[in-house]
Amino acid sequence: MFRDGLMSGKKVLVTGGGSGLGRSFALRQAELGAEIVICGRRQAVLDETAQDLLRAGAPSVDIFSCDIRDAAAIDEMFDAIWAKGPLTGLINNAAGNFVARTERLSPKAMDAVLNIVLHGSLYCTTAAGRRWIEGGQPGTVLSVVSSAATSGRAFTVPSAAAKAGVLAMTKSLAVEWGPYNIRTVAVAPGLFPTEGAWGNLRPDGSDKIPQAMEVPLRRLGDHSEIANLVAYLMSDEAGYISGECVTIDGGRDLLGGGGSGILGFFDFTDAQWETARKGKG
Ligand SMILES: CCCCCCC/C=C/C(=O)SCCNC(=O)CCNC(=O)[C@H](O)C(C)(C)COP(=O)(O)OP(=O)(O)OC[C@H]1O[C@@H](n2cnc3c(N)ncnc32)[C@H](O)[C@@H]1OP(=O)(O)O
Ligand SMILES: NC(=O)C1=CN([C@@H]2O[C@H](COP(=O)(O)OP(=O)(O)OC[C@H]3O[C@@H](n4cnc5c(N)ncnc54)[C@H](OP(=O)(O)O)[C@@H]3O)[C@@H](O)[C@H]2O)C=CC1
């Protein structure tokens, strides 16, 4: 689909790049010649993915065990990255999310999601932007949001609120940092199977409608489809796109804000919510 070496000369940090969609984004850009940096909390996951990235063709791979809720840890990571050479791109991919009745969320539960998605993305984005501006270098920030950022989403309210904030950040910085040749873009995925999303958002008993039936194209997304979109947006071929969010969901959002996926929760019993909370769903 792309010319060989499309991403040669690029160096991209993917937060949460050790697993799930982030791993697929990193692998595709490695195949296209980018140097890759990934971070996450689980060292073993990062180690394993680093080997896959080298096998895929990345000229270099660096891994950082870093919790993006910790601004000081992020700054340390960015200093260490820059010591070897500046990034050209950042992908804000790491996220946390779970289904719960909003009125029952504790402050800690709200913060668990907001601190990863909203604060973590803002910390990483400013850590990169500050360094690009000081160094007079261009850069690209791509944030992974969801249709909840514009449509909202019942039973995952902290995530919807955080993603809306990240989308607002994307649009705001496209203007503020445009003169520095820094592009900010976003993608809004529909249903792409991953351990994290399926484990946290699809407890037993919640699927009233088979997942693929929630999508006008009648199938789930394939990781290669979104990885190619992300590679394009991170490449110079997308050099005039900024402040835009591309939805990639087989038309699902147009059915009504992803509403079908949450129908099962209206009838959830206390016992089912408890099972979901304990991660047994
Ligand atoms: C399949 C449909 C797709 C639709 C797409 C929708 C768009 C968004 C998608 C995604 O973001 S998918 C990615 C999902 N992946 C993850 O969530 C992986 C990372 N997640 C985590 O690390 C945890 O799940 C976490 C809870 C977000 C954070 O973990 P941490 O270890 O920091 O927190 P805990 O100490 O476990 O809990 C903190 C706090 O939160 C309460 N809590 C946790 N889970 C639940 C729950 N299911 N229901 C209610 N409350 C929950 C927990 O009890 C703690 O609060 P207190 O009890 O201490 O007050
Ligand atoms: N899959 C889907 O269908 C959809 C996904 N999305 C979005 O796509 C992105 C990827 O989702 P997906 O791959 O499914 O999610 P996963 O849960 O599978 O992966 C999340 C990744 O983020 C990392 N992560 C989580 N918390 C932190 C943290 N505090 N610090 C550093 N890294 C962290 C995890 O690693 P570790 O646990 O080791 O820290 C993991 O590698 C997210 O932004 C999500 O909101 C949006 C809509 C739909």
Closest ligand to residue 265's CA: 1
Q: At what angle do helices 20-31 and 43-56 cross, to 10 degrees?
A: 30
Which token pair is 116? 């990863």
Q: Locate the ligand 1 atom nearest the alpha carbon of residue 117 and give its number.
A: 11
96 CB within 6 A, ligand 1: yes
Q: Which amino acid is at 171?
A: K
pLDDT at 258: 55
56 Cα: distance to centroid of ligand 1 (angstroms):
31
Q: Is residue 201 part of a domain?
A: yes
pLDDT tens sequence across 104-113? 999 999 999 9
Identify whether 162 is part of a domain.
yes
Q: How far is the CA of 96 from the centre of ligand 2 (A)?
A: 6
Closest protein CA for atom 17 of ligand 2: 196
196 lines ligand 1 (CB under 6 A): yes
Residue 19: inside a domain:
yes
Would you give the end-to-end CA distance of the chain in angstroms?
39
- Structure ipTM: 0.98
CATH code for the domain of 203: 3.40.50.720
Ligand number, closest to the Cα atom of 145: 2
* Among candidate residues 91, 85, 179, 93, the one with its CA nearest the CA of residue 140: 91
Give the least confident one: 74-78, 179-183, 245-249, 264-268.
Answer: 264-268
Q: Which ligand is nearest to the CA of 110?
A: 1
User: Within a domain: residue 3?
Assistant: no
Strand partners, 235: none
Counting residues of the chain whose pLDDT is more than 90, the rounded percentage is 86
Burial class (CB in 10 A: 0-12, 13-18, 19+), 51: exposed
| Residue 156 CA, closest ligand 1 atom number | 6
List the alpha helices (DSSP H) in the chain. 20-31, 43-56, 71-84, 107-114, 121-135, 148-151, 157-176, 195-201, 223-234, 263-266, 270-277
Is the pLDDT confidence value at 11 over 70? Answer: yes
Q: Is the CB of 114 under 6 A from ligand 2?
A: no
- pLDDT beyond 80 at 209: no
Long-range contacts of 215-220 (CB under 8 A, 24+ apart): 215/190, 215/191, 215/249, 215/250, 215/251, 215/252, 216/250, 216/251, 216/252, 216/254, 216/255, 217/250, 217/251, 218/250, 219/250, 220/191, 220/192, 220/193
- For residue 6, tell me if it sits in a domain: no
| DSSP label of 254 | G
Distance 187 CA to ligand 2 centre (A): 14
The verdict on the CB of residue 42 being under 6 Å from ligand 2 is: yes
Count of other CB atoms within 10 angstroms of residue 121: 27
Instruction: Tell whether the model's pLDDT for residue 281 goes beyond 60.
Output: no
Q: Is the pLDDT of residue 117 over 70?
A: yes
Interatomic CA distance for residues 197 and 267, integer angstroms:
21
Q: Which of 194, 201, 226 is the best mutation target for the ligand 2 pocket, counting ligand atoms within 8 Å of the beta carbon and taking the most?
A: 194
Domain range for 204:
11-277
Instruction: Tell how far the Cα of 155 is from the centroid of ligand 1, in angstroms.
Output: 12
Q: Encode pLDDT of 122-168 as tens digits.
A: 999 999 999 999 999 999 999 999 999 999 999 999 999 999 999 99
Residues paired with 140 in a beta bridge: 89, 183
Name the 3-class secondary structure at 185.
strand
Instruction: Evaluate: CB of 192 within 6 angstroms of ligand 2.
Output: yes
Answer yes or no: is 5 within a domain: no
Q: Give yes or no for a contact between 12 and 88, defined as CB atoms under 8 angstroms apart.
A: yes
Which pTM does this prediction carry?
0.97
Nearest CA to ligand 1 atom 42: 109
CA angle 53–54–56, rounded 5-degree value: 65
The answer to whether residue 70 sits within a structural domain is: yes
Give me the number of domains the chain comprises. Answer: 1
Confidence of residue 259 (pLDDT cuts 50, 70, 90): low
Let me know if residue 207 belongs to a domain: yes
